[in-house]
Structure 1
Amino acid sequence: MSSLEQTARTPRLRVPYITAYDEEIVAHPLTFVWSPEATDGLKLSYVDAVPQDSMLGALWSRQGLHRRGRPEWKLVNSIRQRNAMLRLLCQVCGESAVGPDGRVSWVLADDPDDTSTSKGYTNAPPTCAACIPEALVACPRLRRGAAVYTVGSAEPYGVLGDFWRPTRHGPVETQRNAVVPLDAFWRLEYTLAKQLLVVLDDLRPMPLDR
Structure 2
Amino acid sequence: MATHQATEAAPNTGAESLGVTNGKIGMWTFLVMDAMTFAGFLAGYARLRWSPESGWPNPYTEFGVIGIQLTAFNTFVLICSSVSMVHVLSETIRGNMDRARKWMLATIIGGLIFVGIQGYEWTHLILDKWPYLVGGEGVDYNTNFASTFLSLTGFHGLHVSVGVIYNLIIYLGMKRGKIGKHNSSIIEIAGLYWHFVDLIWILVFTFVYLI
Q: Same fold (TM over 0.5)?
A: no
Task: Give the TM-score normalised by the residue count of structure 1.
Answer: 0.28
Query: Rg larger in 1 or in 2?
Result: 2
Q: Which has more strand, going by share of residues?
A: 1
Task: Give the TM-score normalised by the residue count of structure 2.
Answer: 0.27
Q: Tell me: higher relative CO, structure 1 or 2? Use CA pairs within 8 A at least 6 residues apart.
A: 2
Q: Which has more helix, going by share of residues?
A: 2
